[in-house]
Amino acid sequence: MFVGSKIVLLRTTRHKTASAATTAAITTTTNKMMMMRPIQHQHQHQHVKKHARAMTTTTTAMCSSSSSASSSTRNLSRATTPTSQSSLGRKKQQHRFQRRAIASSSSSSSSAAAEAGGEEPSSSSSSSSAKHVSSLLSWPTRTTLCGSLNISSVGEKVSLCGWVDKQRDMGGICFADVRDHSGLVQIIGAAEGVHANQSQIDEILSSLRSECVVKVVGVVRERNNKNKNIKTGEVEVEVESIEVLNVVSKSLPFSISEGEKSGNADKSSEEVRLKNRVLDLRRPKMLKNLKRRHEAIKKMRKVLEDEFDFMEIETPVLSRPTPEGARDYLVPARTAAAGSCYALPQSPQLFKQMLMVSGCDRYYQVARCFRDEDLRADRQPEFTQLDVEMSFTDADGIMNVAERVFLEASGMHKKVQQPFRRMTYAEAMEKYGSDKPDLRFDLEMTTLNDVLNDTEFPPFKSALEVSRSSVKVLVVDDSQAGKNKISNAKLKPKGEIFEDAVNAGSANGLFFCRVAEDGKTLEGAKGLVEGLANCAEKIINTSNAPPGSLLLFVAGKTKVVNTALDKVRHKCANMLNLIDPKAHAVLWVTDFPMFEYNEDEERFEACHHPFTAPNTEDYEKNPDDLTEARAIAYDLVYNGVEIGGGSLRIYRRDVQEKVFKAIGMSTEEAEDKFGYLLDAFQYGAPPHGGFAIGVDRLVMLLCGAKSIRDVIAFPKTTTGQCLLTRAPGEATTEQLAELNIKRIE
Ligand code: ASP
C-alpha cells in the first residue's frame, strides 16, 4: 500500500501464513527493538545492534516452532544459518530471474551516463522516482549506517538512509547500492510472495536513479555473489519497505559513485568540481579526506591537552597586522576614521606571545590565518594552522611537543623515530639548495667558488665577480641507470632539464659534462671541458663525483643557483625513479639566518618573522648589528614540504627594538605598529617560544592528495576565487559609501 512514496508494511498481511502467535511476537519485538531506534550515538548504536542480534535469535527460535512460517520469517531464520541458506538462496535467485524477466524496466546506467555527461535528466528518468516522493516533508531516522554492515549483521532488521549510488535492473531483479558517509551496501527486492506489496517495492526499486535519497527498511542477509571490493560486500539488505525522500531534478555534472567509470569527477576539470563543490564533497574520496583531516586535528588536540596540558584559546580575527611576510587582507572599519582598516591575522603570532606575558603558560589554537600572496597548489588565501606557544622551555622542549603532535596526527610512530633528524639551514642550502630538502633521495650539490678561483671559463669567471654569487655543481650518478640514463638532449637548450633551470631564473640555464672513467678528467662539450681542465680533479674530489657521473653546473646569484639546482635535482630524481613513494623523510631544519637580503628592495627582511630570537652567541658577538646573526628558528620538513616551523622569541623590549631597526623600521613606526607588544614586554615577559603546523599541507600529504584544495571543504582557486559562492563579490555603492570608500573609475 502506498502512502505517498512510503510503502508501509502491513504486518497483518505479511504474517498471513504464519501462526498468529508467532507473527504477533515478531511484529511487536522487531518494531520496538529495531525499527524505532534512530542513530544518535555510537554506543547507542552498538546497543541497538546487540539487541537486534538478540532479537534475531529469539525470532528464529519462535519461527522454527511454526511449520507454516512465511517466507519472510524464513528469511530471518535463514540468516542465522548462512550455510544452509546459500543453496536455498540460489534457487530463489534463479526463480526470481525467471519470474521477473519480463518486468525489466529501463536501466539506470544509461541515465547515469547521460547525467554524468551533463545532459538534463530525461523526463522519464527524473519523474520515475519523483512520482514516489511524498508530498509531505518528513525527517526519518535510521538505526544503522550503510557502511557498518557485515557478516555479523546477518539477520538484523535495519533501517538505512542515504543516496542511491547505483541501481541495476537485472532481468527484472532490482538491486541498488545505498550510500551514506560510512560506505555503501547493496539492497535487493525480496522473492515473490514474501511481501504482499512486493510489486510496489519493485516498482520503486526500478525507478531509483543515481543520487536520489531513500530510506530503506529491511533484513540483512548473506550475499550469494560476494563482492570483495567493498567493505559490506558479504551482505545485502532485503527490502521490506522503501521511501523515496528526494530526487535529483537537475543534471549531475559528474558521477558521484566511485564504481562509475564514465563521467567520473576525477576526470572533470578542477573548475567543474569547485563550482559543484557540494556534489564533489559527496564523493566518498572527498569525504574520506575530510574525515582524515578531522581525525588529524582531533589527535593534535588530544596530545596537546592530555599529554602536555595545553589550553585552547581563541584570538581575534579582526585585528592589526601580524607580519609573516605576506600582504595583509584588510577589512575597512565602518565605525572608525575614514581609511581605517582591520587586518586579518597572517597568524596569531603576537596574541600568543602576549598570552605568554599574561601567564597562560601553554596555549594552542586551531587557527585560521590569512595571507594575500601568490597562490600555488599548497597555498590558500585562508588556511588553518595548529598554533602553539609555551613559556619556560628551550627549543628542544618545543620541538619535542611538535614531534609528538606530528606523530599522533600522522600515525607514523613506527616509521619515524624521535628525536627527528636535524640539519642546519647552512647545510641544507649547501647540499640541497633548499631550506626544505626532500631527503627521500640522495642527490647532492657542492659550491665550487673556492675551487674555481682562477677559472678562465667565461660564464663562471664573470659570475664569480659579482657579490652574493656562486657556481655550484649537482652530481647525478646515472651510470647504472641503463635506458633511463639522462640524455644530452634533455640537458641542452630547449631540453626539459635545461628549461627548468632557465625557468628558475638561471640566465645561462645549465652546463653539463661527465666524469671520465679514469675518475680524474671531464668529458663533454669542448668549451666547458677545456675551461675547467686545470681544476677538473679538484671539482671531482670536492663534489665526490664517481666515474661516469653527470655534473650539472649553474652559475649566478647564489639564490638563483640554489633555486635552479633544487629544481634540477627533483627533475633528475623523478627521471631516475629515485623517489620511494613509501618513504617518509622527516627532519628539522635549524639555525635559519635572522634576515635575508631582498635584492629587489635592497634591504634585509626577517627570514622567519621579526619576533624570532637571535642565536645567543651571535648576539653576544655583535648585539648592535644582527644582520649576519643566526636565529633560534626551526622548520619541520616532511618529504620536501615545509609543514611547520617556529622559534624561540624575543622577550625584551631592547632586543626587539634592535630587530625592528635591522629591518629598516624606525622607532616611530615600530611604536605605532607594535607598541602594544613592546609595552607588554616591559611587564615581566617570560622567556617563551612556539611553533605552528600547517594543517592543510600536512593532511594533503597524509591523504596523498596533490593539492591542499582537496583537503579543504570550500577552497579558493589560485586566483583567490570561490567558484561555488562566487566570492569575492562586488560591494554596492551604498556599502562602500558607509565605509567611506570611493570607487576609482
Ligand atoms: N607564526 C609562525 C608562522 O605562522 C609560527 C611560529 O613562529 O609559531 O609561521
Q: What is the pLDDT of residues 277-316, one digit of tens each?
A: 999 999 999 999 999 999 999 999 999 999 999 999 999 9
Backbone dihedral angles phi then psi of residue 186, each to the nearest 5 degrees = -80, 135
pLDDT the model gives residue 510:
96
Specify the range with the lowest mean pLDDT, choosing from 125-139, 190-204, 283-297, 576-590: 125-139
Percent of all residues in the chain with a pLDDT value above 70, rounded to a whole number: 83
Alpha carbon separation from 559 to 57, 378, 566, 599, 604 (Å, rounded):
74, 22, 11, 10, 14
Interval between CA 441 and ligand 1 midpoint (Å): 28
- pLDDT, tens digit, 9 for 90 and up, residues 624-639: 999 999 999 999 999 9
What tens digit of pLDDT does each residue of 707-728 get?
999 999 999 998 999 999 999 9
User: Residue 123: pLDDT above 50?
Assistant: no
Per-position b or e across 170-199, b if 16+ CB within 10 A of its CB: eebbbbbbbbbebbbbbbbbbbeebbebbe
Q: From the CB of 347, is ligand 1 less than 6 Å away?
A: yes
Distance between CA 244 and CA 285 in Å, rounded?
Answer: 25
Model confidence, pTM: 0.83
pLDDT at 369 over 70: yes
Neighbours of 10 (CB within 10 A): 13
Nearest CA to ligand 1 atom 1: 349
Q: What whole-number distance in Å separates Cα of residue 661 and Cα of residue 657?
A: 6
Is 408 a residue whose pLDDT tops 90? yes
> Is 130 a residue whose pLDDT tops 90?
no
pLDDT at 2: 32
Which of these ranges, 14-23, 383-392, 415-424, has the smallest mean pLDDT?
A: 14-23
- The CA radius of gyration of the chain, in Å to the nearest whole number, is 34
Quote the pLDDT of residue 587. 98
Ligand 1 and 647: CB distance under 6 A: yes
Is 90 exceeded by the pLDDT of residue 499? yes
Lowest average pLDDT, out of 36-50, 372-386, 424-438, 457-471, goes to 36-50
Q: What are the cell numbers at 117? A: 555527461
Please give the C-alpha separations between residue 196 and each of 10, 104, 171, 363, in angstroms, as whole numbers: 8, 20, 21, 64
What cell does 447 get? Answer: 659550491
Question: Does residue 89's CB lie within 6 angstroms of at least one atom of ligand 1?
Answer: no
Burial label for 452, CB within 10 Å (0-12, 13-18, 19+), is: buried
Q: pLDDT tens-digit profile of 67-99? A: 333 333 333 333 333 333 344 344 444 444 333
Under the banding of pLDDT at 50, 70 and 90, the label for residue 422 is very high
C-alpha 521 to ligand 1 mean position (Å): 48
- Taking the CA of residue 646 as reference, the ligand 1 atom at the shortest distance is 7
Residue 714 to residue 290: CA distance in whole angstroms = 11
Q: Tell me, what's the pLDDT at 715?
A: 97
Q: Is the CB of 646 under 6 A from ligand 1?
A: yes
- Residue at 624: amino acid letter: D
Residue 579, pLDDT > 50, answer: yes
Mean pLDDT on 697-705? 96
Q: What is the number of the ligand 1 atom nearest to the C-alpha of 647?
A: 7
Residue 354 CB partners (closer than 8 Å, separation 6+): 676, 677, 680
Residue 701 φ/ψ, nearest 5 degrees: -70, -40
Phi, psi torsion values for 431, nearest 5 degrees: -85, -30
pLDDT at 31 over 50: no
pLDDT beyond 60 at 699 = yes
- Integer Cα distance of 158 and 142 in angstroms: 8
Residue 40, classed as helix, strand or coil, is coil
How confident is residue 127, by pLDDT bands cut at 50, 70 and 90? low
324 C-beta closer than 6 A to ligand 1: yes
Alpha helix stretches (DSSP H) within 267-368: 270-275, 277-282, 284-302, 308, 349-357
- What is the residue-averaged pLDDT of the chain? 85
- The letter for the amino acid at 190 is A
Q: Check pLDDT > 80 for residue 9.
A: no
Helices 284-302 and 695-703, axial angle in degrees (round to 10)? 130
524 lines ligand 1 (CB under 6 A): no
Q: Which of 363, 608, 693 to mutate to test the pocket of ligand 1 (most atoms within 8 A of CB)?
A: 608
Q: How confident is the model at residue 448 (pLDDT cuts 50, 70, 90)?
A: very high
Report pLDDT for 39: 52
Q: Of 390, 368, 395, which Cα lies nearest the Cα of 380?
A: 368
Ligand 1 touching residue 691 (CB < 6 A)? yes
Testing ligand 1's pocket by substitution, the residue of 304, 315, 347 carrying the most ligand atoms inside 8 A of its CB is: 347
Q: Please report which confidence band the pLDDT of residue 195 belongs to, taking 50, 70 and 90 as the band edges.
A: confident
**Long-range contacts formed by 50-56: CB under 8 A, 24+ apart:** 52/143, 52/156, 52/157, 52/158, 53/152, 53/155, 53/156, 55/29, 55/30, 55/157, 56/80, 56/155, 56/156
Question: In the predicted model, is pLDDT for residue 47 greater than 70?
Answer: no
